[in-house]
Amino acid sequence: MDGIGWGILATGKIAHSFARDLAVVPGGRLAAVGSRRLESAESFAATYDAGAAHGSYEELVADPAVDVVYVASPHAFHLAHARLALEAGKHVLCEKPLTLNAAEAEEMVRLARKHDRFLMEAMWTACHPVVRRLASDLAAGRFGRPQHLHAELGFRVDAPPGDRMLDPDLGAGALLDMGIYPLTLAHLLLGQAESLRALAHLSEDGIDLAVAVTGRYPAGVLATMAASMTSWSSRAGAIATDLGRIELDDFHHPTRARFTPYAEGGSNDLDARQEPVEIVGDEPVLGHGYGNEIAEVHRCLRAGLTESPLVPHAQTLTLMRQMDELRGQIGVRYPADAGR
């Protein structure tokens, strides 16, 4: 059968969303799925018409019909599971955060280079057509000079204590789970942060239930970012520039962004506001947006690339180092940090 053969490693929540979007992207097919439990793999395979169901991750990565493995396990296992796939000669798209800390992420990148395989963090925000358009328009100065960015992402997590969202051993915490998105948005739109500061509310287990981050970016641009597992945030994103204001309805799943210019010399805020300009992507959003990251992997594999220009390794590592620094400030440590 033609097309790039995907193997999905793990059958949790995001694996289902991914499989739904994979079905709408041309050029790829769900070759196989692997789970710790064969029944789970079989049920997933039946739902999404996968070519094969495997009762272990080892069998999945050994499947010759699989070209690229999508790692969808909890972050604490990303390095081990990506290692399995890379050592079996497969390319890897690994869920975010790439790993628990920068040292693990550097190790994953090293393994990908050693085996000469493609590796990309599944940072679909960076592949989203609206975000990409906004980043290129801002870089071209179309909306003036950015002065301040605000982005927040949060939803109330009602999960049992052993769930990956609450278990420190599985890498639980608002920063790694959700805060990575506002931090990535700021990085994509403003460049690399010069300084970041965080405050957090920690659980009794020492995980960050909510975190607020302020950042200073090149040219004196400031950012305020928040992530929460205890409240329903607006998910809004906004960039104030010296010529007006850009708003993203939901920066996590944007359907559109709009720029409202402000006229020079308006006597007050309402007088000065002009007609908003819609900012639309150059390509359609595929599925729920995961499709665009899948299309990017297809594009890179066909071009023989080992990393994506949209989610380069250096960018992923920069974000991982930022989160290490912020975790140091708020006092969140994972078992994988031992000895560091």
Catalytic residues: 96
Of residues 95 and 307, the one with the C-beta less far from ligand NAP: 95
Considering the complex, what minimum distance in angstroms separates the CB of residue 169 from ligand NAP?
A: 8
Structure token pair of residue 238: 């906004």
Task: Tally Cβ neighbours within 10 Å of residue 123.
Answer: 25
Question: Residue 261, preceding bond cis, omega within 30 degrees?
Answer: no
CA distance 272 to 166: 47
How many residues interact with ligand NAP (rule CB under 6 A)?
Answer: 22
Binding segment for ligand NAP among 73-81, 190-198, 242-250, 332-340 (CB under 6 A)? 73-81
The SS3 call for residue 25 is coil
Considering the complex, what minimum distance in angstroms separates the CB of residue 335 from ligand NAP?
A: 13
Residue labelled with tokens 């359907």: 255
Applying CB under 6 A, among 91, 96, 115, 150 the residue interacting with ligand NAP is 96
Applying CB under 6 A, among 7, 19, 30, 75 the residue interacting with ligand NAP is 75
**Can residue 122 be called a binding residue for ligand NAP (CB under 6 A)?**
yes
Considering the complex, what minimum distance in angstroms separates the CB of residue 153 from ligand NAP?
A: 10
Binding segment for ligand NAP among 11-19, 102-110, 254-262, 298-306 (CB under 6 A)? 11-19
**Most distant pair of Cα atoms in the chain: their distance:** 69
**Can residue 124 be called a binding residue for ligand NAP (CB under 6 A)?**
yes
CA distance 97 to 137: 27
DSSP states of 120-181: EE--GGGG-HHHHHHHHHHHTTTT--EEEEEEEEE------TTSTTT-GGGT--HIIIIIHH
Comparing every residue's Cβ against ligand NAP, the nearest one is 12
CA distance 59 to 21: 24
**Can residue 168 be called a binding residue for ligand NAP (CB under 6 A)?**
no
Segment 26 to 45, residues that bind ligand NAP, using CB under 6 A:
35-37, 40
Binding segment for ligand NAP among 4-12, 60-68, 225-233, 276-284 (CB under 6 A)? 4-12
Burial 94-117, CB ≥16 within 10 A → b, else e: bbbbbbbbbbbbbebbebbeebeb
**Can residue 200 be called a binding residue for ligand NAP (CB under 6 A)?**
no
Which residues share a beta bridge with 222?
Answer: 148, 216
Residues 137-166: x where in contact with ligand NAP by CB under 6 A, - otherwise, as a string? ---------------------------x--
- Applying CB under 6 A, the residues found at the interface with ligand NAP are 10-15, 35-37, 40, 72-75, 77, 95-96, 122, 124, 164, 170, 177
